[in-house]
Amino acid sequence: MVEVTIKIPEHIRDVVSEAGEAIYVEALNEVARKRLSHTRKRFEELTKKIAGYESKYGRTYEHFSQSLPDTPEAHDDWTEWSYVNSVSGELLNKIEKLELITGR
């Protein structure tokens, strides 16, 4: 478990302290919900890029990497495809964590 310290303006301290821990749980849930929406959209964009490469080369990234055509375009595509795969994996992991927070 991680302990988080939050600094709030002095003039709203009484409002926050009256709400207790629930206000922090609600705030975290709201932030997670917004991040989840944004993260899903970004993941979908990357998924479309991956599908574009798979369509272009007629194979998955793993198969493409094993028999990379010896052209500058293929090398550039391989570099970007590799990055897109990596980032999409990270986003999927983040989506799973955000879904745990939001209960989705």
Whether the Cβ atoms of residue 102 and residue 32 lie closer than 8 Å to each other: yes
Higher pLDDT, 4 or 30: 30
Residues in the chain: 104
For tokens 């899903």, name the residue: 40
Instruction: Specify the pTM.
Output: 0.79
What 3-state class would DSSP assign to 67? coil
Could you report the per-residue pLDDT of 16-36, keeping only the tens digit for each?
A: 777 777 788 888 899 999 999
> What does the pLDDT read at residue 38?
97
CA gap 101, 85 in Å, rounded: 25
> What does the pLDDT read at residue 12?
79
